[in-house]
Amino acid sequence: MHQRLVVRSLTTTDGTLTAMDDGLVVWTPHQGRPRRMAMHAHPTVLLALRGPMGNVATAVVGCADGSITVLSLPRMEQAGRFDIGGGAVRSICLLEPGSLTFLAGNQRGEVWALLNDRSPRASRLFTIDGPVSSLNVTEHDIHVRSGWMHHVRTLEGGAVSDHNTAAGYQEHRYQRLGNVRPTQLLIT
């Protein structure tokens, strides 16, 4: 018998969204019964959105195969699906408040705009070096993090700046105890 493992979870004031290692996604509201839905692949990222009444009304699930599924809550019905390919989806953020438009970043460093009401529905904006760790949209810019690198792009994908946030730290070279021969140990 397979014991499911929780790989992602998101806790809100309305309930908990949990993703399991076999692709099962469960919405457990504080009031009401849990709902389940099986994804096509291993879930890698979760995003919950509040509706106009202030309750959590939508969940977005990114998967390891590059698919992104939009679910309506609490019924767990599929409201939309996007496919960006390029490996695992690493980050998702809302592009325009009040609409189902998103930005998604994947393992290959590609950032995609996901527009449910326009054609094409998924379009690649730009690519960075390294996997996308996080995405954030401000009024005029897209902030992308990849490890220590902070990339700023326009909403159309044009480069604004690239900054290595690790540059301000000094490199401390030291030798770990496991790499030292016993004759080199100082005993005082």
Domains along the chain with CATH numbers: 1-83 (2.40.10.480), 87-166 (2.40.10)
Other Cβ atoms closer than 10 A to 120: 8
HSE at residue 20, side-chain half, CA atoms within 13 A, is 14
The chain-wide mean pLDDT, for the chain, equals: 88
Whether the pLDDT of residue 24 is over 90: the answer is: yes
Give the pLDDT of residue 139: 87
Whether the pLDDT of residue 182 is over 60: the answer is: no
Give 1-21 pLDDT, tens digit per residue: 468 899 999 999 999 999 999
Side chain identity at residue 169, one-letter code: Y
- Beta bridge mates, 150: 145, 163
Q: What is the pTM of this model?
A: 0.83
**Average pLDDT over every residue of 26-37:** 94
Q: Is the peptide bond between 97 and the residue preceding it cis, with omega within 30 degrees of 0?
A: no
pLDDT tier at 165, thresholds 50, 70, 90: confident
